[in-house]
């Protein structure tokens, strides 16, 4: 059929009109705007959103159907990087809090920053200038806010920001100006190292996580460098008076045999702390007490487990939950019962500091499988309709333990699994606790050469060849004089990023790693690049189990994100988390799931936000299905936990993430804080 000239002209006109209309619709879509009125208004007042650490926001303005339209609302830079653009051992893991109509956060090098939450403009910045000598990772995950109920709100230091530093100081700053509060400690600062005895370098003992504020108490643990020396400062947890900085109570995770000594007991009144001397530690059986010097104050048992990760609080039942570290004195030596409270969760009475119960996740931990994440408190809805106050704990082994948070008894069954006790250590446990549910992120208990991977036959063959030379007793393989399997490596499984929970949908969200490593023990004479284990016959050497192309030798996914129905403990979805983009050259950009460091948050609208990956993407997933709904490239990787807030019922919902990378992951570093909102 032929067309007349007039028909052709009419058809051409219609095509032009359709094209103009399509361009107009595209322009409208690009400039789409939303009404920001109505809906829930929720902030982010503490590090994990609430004292329970659920990391769940009631905000619904950003939803699965519009999250794709998120745009950058503002960007702030902390100034932490040098002119060369990188700082050795730096990790930007901070999550801001919203209080006093202000965002407060810390940079890795302890610059405490106050921002306008709507514009990102700096209100004030206080550089605490810590001494980082000795720190293996320079990091600060957050700060805390306190309001003095006895003072007018506008009075100086009636509202305070508490910030711990990498060199072991606790600062109280006026929330409105950033100036130190002179009535707290010594002109605004309490030196947490002052009564510890000998500390070799300032950066070996510090604070990396936000302190926990309960009533008028500021409760803090400490970061202690693992496997450096069997004689390290005691890992004490202290409750300080928020007004004066004076100690209310102190808990040390020393074993019962040491806690029985009244001068260095686990819970110490102020007078006991002032009177205790180095000799007390010697009487308790500490072989290295003399290292502190005859005049050094040493009220706490040396090398007891520390608490470096964030804590959580059951305010109703007055319980605070401590995720504990690895006892230095037990590493390699397997000495005595020093691991009694190690690699556990310990429940204390928050008012007195007395132990209520504790549960251990790793016996005689020599693998650095300490408890790395904030315990998550929630109400467990049992299949029979019963509701149980519960605690979910992420672990580096890739297991999640679910306990009754009032008693410490497991809600899901836990089995003691036989493990190897061979190797060079003495006194290892013949069994380790393994929960049957929730379903594990790490499912392989003993790798074989069939679990090795390669982009090509040659790198797979090389990985298999090297794997077959390793001593391999499965998970919890002891250390040998020759290279042995280290799986999962000590970044997990799960690390400090922990868990988030959607109580509306009863879904627990977890990100995890799945990476093979190797290590061995060697005599002390040797090159750097190891855990020195001073005070033992050995040093720990990390052996390379990366392929010739720079990928882990074991098969992907090397990082995963999963949603778990917490009533049944069954996974309802699981997806690879992250791509090889930004870390591998094109065309080796694959959605394989990559190593990650950081955490997720959930919202009432059904979204899970997470960065964390070694690629530089910030993502949003459907909490119900695990489908990726949005992603945006960051200027540096987001090794942090995001947060979200609305300021009022007419305002926007913002999602904020710190993007600075992690020097240990060898990805791009930065000093960015970025907020996203709907246009």
Tens of pLDDT along 7-34?
Answer: 434 434 443 344 444 444 444 455 678 8
Spatial CA neighbour of 303 closest among 320, 281, 276: 281
Mapping DSSP onto H, E and C, the string for 83-149 reads CCCCCCCEECCCCCEEECCEEEEECCCCEEEEECCCCCCEEEEEECCCCCCCCCCECCCCCEEEECC
Q: Are 510 and 566 within 8 A, CB to CB?
A: no
Top-confidence residue, 286 or 393: 393
647-669 tens-digit pLDDT: 999 999 999 999 998 887 878 88
Q: What residue has token string 């791509």? A: 579
Pair of tokens at residue 673: 């804080």
Burial class (CB in 10 A: 0-12, 13-18, 19+), 507: buried
Q: Please, which residues have CB within 8 angstroms of residue 20's CB and are 6 or more apart in sequence?
A: none
The pLDDT value recorded for residue 273 is 30
Pair of tokens at residue 58: 């009631």
Which residues are 239's β-sheet partners? 219, 249
The pLDDT value recorded for residue 87 is 65
* Catalytic-residue membership of 368: yes
pLDDT over 90, % of the chain: 73
167-184 tens-digit pLDDT: 999 999 999 999 999 999
Spatial CA neighbour of 672 closest among 260, 47, 80, 42: 80
568-586 tens-digit pLDDT: 999 999 999 999 887 666 6
Whether pLDDT at 277 is above 90: no
Cα angle 513, 519, 525; round to 5: 145
Q: Are 535 and 231 within 8 A, CB to CB?
A: yes
Domains of the chain: 74-210+658-679 (2.40.10.480), 211-371 (2.40.10.480)
Whether pLDDT at 272 is above 50: no
Whether pLDDT at 276 is above 50: no
Pair of tokens at residue 574: 């699981």
323-369 tens-digit pLDDT: 999 887 665 566 668 889 999 999 999 999 999 999 999 999 999 99
Neighbouring C-alpha atoms within 13 Å toward the C-beta of 412: 22
Q: Is 403 helix (H, G, I), strand (E, B) or coil?
A: strand
Strand ranges across the sheet with 400-404: 376-381, 387-394, 400-404
Pair of tokens at residue 562: 């999963």
375-396 tens-digit pLDDT: 999 999 999 999 999 999 999 9
Burial class (CB in 10 A: 0-12, 13-18, 19+), 351: middle
Q: Please, which residues have CB within 8 angstroms of residue 512's CB and are 6 or more apart in sequence?
A: 398, 441, 442, 492, 493, 494, 559, 560, 562, 596
Q: Please, which residues have CB within 8 angstroms of residue 320's CB and are 6 or more apart in sequence?
A: 212, 214, 219, 311, 312, 313, 314, 347, 348, 349, 350
616-648 tens-digit pLDDT: 999 999 999 999 999 999 999 999 999 999 999
Using CA atoms, how far apart are residues 263 and 267, in angstroms rounded to an integer?
10
Q: Please, which residues have CB within 8 angstroms of residue 95's CB and are 6 or more apart in sequence?
A: 47, 105, 141, 142, 640, 641, 642, 643, 658
Spatial CA neighbour of 143 closest among 209, 48, 224, 51: 209
For the chain, the straight-line distance linking the first and the last C-alpha, in angstroms and rounded, comes to 50
Using CA atoms, how far apart are residues 572 and 514, in angstroms rounded to an integer?
19
Tell me the residue length of the chain: 679
The pLDDT value recorded for residue 560 is 97
DSSP string, 270-293: HHHHHH--HHHHHHTT-TTGGGG-
State the DSSP code for 644: E
458-498 tens-digit pLDDT: 999 999 999 999 999 999 999 999 999 999 999 999 999 99
Average pLDDT value for the chain: 88
Whether pLDDT at 261 is above 80: no
C-alpha distances out from residue 240 to 211, 270, 352, 408, Å: 10, 11, 12, 26
Top-confidence residue, 22 or 675: 675
Using CA atoms, how far apart are residues 206 and 276, in angstroms rounded to an integer?
22
Top-confidence residue, 116 or 441: 116
Using CA atoms, how far apart are residues 191 and 170, in angstroms rounded to an integer?
7
Q: Is 257 helix (H, G, I), strand (E, B) or coil?
A: helix
The pLDDT value recorded for residue 517 is 96
202-246 tens-digit pLDDT: 999 999 999 999 999 999 999 998 888 888 898 999 999 999 999
Whether pLDDT at 111 is above 90: yes
DSSP string, 171-193: EEEETTT--B-TTTTBTTEEETT
The pLDDT value recorded for residue 664 is 79
The pLDDT value recorded for residue 376 is 98
Using CA atoms, how far apart are residues 400 and 245, in angstroms rounded to an integer?
36
State the CB neighbour count (10 A cutoff) for residue 664: 14
State the CB neighbour count (10 A cutoff) for residue 346: 26
Q: Please tell me whether the overall predicted TM-score, pTM, comes out greater than 0.75 for this model.
A: yes
Pair of tokens at residue 262: 């009244």
Using CA atoms, how far apart are residues 327 and 424, in angstroms rounded to an integer?
18
Which residues are 511's β-sheet partners? 561
Element housing 248 (H / E): strand 247-252
Using CA atoms, how far apart are residues 320 and 220, in angstroms rounded to an integer?
11
Using CA atoms, how far apart are residues 356 and 346, in angstroms rounded to an integer?
8
Q: Please, which residues have CB within 8 angstroms of residue 23's CB and are 6 or more apart in sequence?
A: none
Q: Are 390 and 381 within 8 A, CB to CB?
A: no
Mean pLDDT value across residues 547-558:
94
> Of the listed 368, 370, 459, 502, which one is catalytic?
368
Using CA atoms, how far apart are residues 466 and 484, in angstroms rounded to an integer?
11
29-88 tens-digit pLDDT: 556 788 888 899 999 999 999 999 999 999 999 999 999 999 999 999 999 876 555 567
Q: Are 512 and 494 within 8 A, CB to CB?
A: yes
């Amino acid at each position: 059929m032929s067309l007349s000239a007039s028909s052709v002209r009419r058809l051409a006109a219609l095509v032009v009109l359709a094209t103009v209309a399509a361009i107009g619709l595209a322009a409208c879509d690009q400039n789409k705007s939303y009404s920001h009125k109505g809906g829930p208004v929720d902030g982010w007042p503490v590090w994990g959103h609430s004292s329970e650490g659920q990391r769940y926001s009631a905000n619904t303005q950003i939803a699965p159907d519009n999250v794709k339209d998120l745009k950058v609302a503002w960007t702030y830079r902390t100034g932490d990087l040098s002119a060369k653009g990188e700082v050795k051992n730096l990790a930007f893991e901070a999550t801001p809090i919203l209080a006093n109509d202000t965002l407060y956060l810390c940079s890795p090098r302890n610059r405490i920053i106050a921002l306008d939450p709507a514009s990102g403009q700096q209100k004030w910045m206080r550089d605490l200038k810590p001494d980082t000598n000795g720190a293996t990772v320079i990091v600060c995950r957050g700060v805390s806010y306190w309001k003095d109920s006895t003072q007018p709100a506008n009075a100086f230091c009636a509202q305070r920001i508490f910030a711990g530093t990498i060199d072991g100081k606790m600062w109280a700053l006026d929330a409105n100006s950033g100036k130190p509060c002179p009535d707290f400690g010594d002109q605004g600062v309490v030196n947490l190292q002052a009564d510890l005895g000998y500390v070799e370098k300032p950066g070996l003992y510090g604070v990396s996580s936000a302190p926990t504020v309960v009533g008028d108490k500021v409760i803090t643990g400490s970061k202690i460098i693992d496997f450096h020396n069997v004689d390290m400062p005691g890992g004490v947890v202290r409750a300080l008076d928020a007004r004066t900085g004076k100690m209310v109570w102190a808990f040390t995770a020393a074993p019962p045999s040491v806690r029985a000594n009244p001068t260095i007991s686990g819970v110490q009144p102020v007078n006991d702390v002032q009177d205790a001397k180095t000799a007390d530690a010697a009487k308790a059986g500490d072989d290295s007490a003399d290292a502190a010097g005859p005049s050094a104050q040493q009220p706490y048992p040396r090398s007891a487990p520390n608490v470096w990760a964030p804590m959580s609080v059951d305010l109703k039942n007055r319980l605070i939950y401590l995720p504990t570290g690895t006892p230095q004195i037990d590493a390699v030596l397997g000495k005595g019962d020093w691991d009694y409270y190690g690699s556990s969760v310990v429940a204390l009475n928050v008012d007195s500091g007395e132990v209520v119960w504790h549960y251990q996740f790793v016996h005689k931990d020599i693998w650095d499988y300490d408890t790395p994440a904030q315990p998550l408190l929630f109400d467990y809805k049992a299949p029979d309709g019963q509701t149980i106050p519960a605690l979910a704990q992420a672990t580096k082994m890739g297991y999640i333990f679910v306990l009754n948070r009032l008693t410490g008894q497991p809600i899901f069954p836990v089995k003691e699994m036989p493990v190897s006790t061979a190797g060079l250590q003495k006194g290892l446990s013949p069994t380790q606790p393994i929960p049957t549910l929730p379903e594990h992120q790490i499912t392989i208990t003993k790798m074989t050469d069939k679990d090795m991977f390669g982009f090509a036959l040659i790198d797979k063959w090389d990985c298999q060849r090297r794997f077959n030379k390793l001593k391999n007793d499965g998970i919890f393989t002891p250390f040998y004089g020759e290279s042995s399997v280290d799986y999962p490596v000590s970044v997990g499984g799960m690390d400090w990023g922990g868990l988030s929970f959607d109580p509306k949908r009863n879904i627990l969200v977890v990100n995890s790693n799945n990476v093979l490593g190797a290590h061995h023990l060697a005599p002390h004479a040797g090159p750097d690049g190891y855990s020195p284990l001073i005070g033992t016959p050995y040093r720990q050497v990390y052996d390379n189990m990366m392929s010739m192309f720079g990928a882990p030798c074991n098969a992907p996914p090397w990082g995963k994100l999963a949603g778990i129905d917490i009533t049944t403990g069954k996974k309802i979805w699981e997806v690879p988390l992250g791509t090889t983009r930004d870390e591998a050259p094109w065309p080796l950009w694959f959605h394989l799931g990559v190593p990650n460091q950081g955490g997720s948050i959930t919202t009432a609208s059904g979204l899970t936000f997470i960065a964390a990956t070694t690629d530089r993407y910030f993502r949003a997933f459907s909490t119900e299905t695990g489908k990726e709904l949005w992603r945006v490239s960051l200027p540096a990787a987001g090794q942090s936990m995001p947060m979200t807030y609305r300021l009022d019922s007419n305002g926007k919902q913002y999602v904020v993430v710190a993007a600075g990378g992690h020097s240990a992951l060898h990805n791009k570093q930065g000093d960015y804080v970025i907020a996203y909102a709907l246009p």
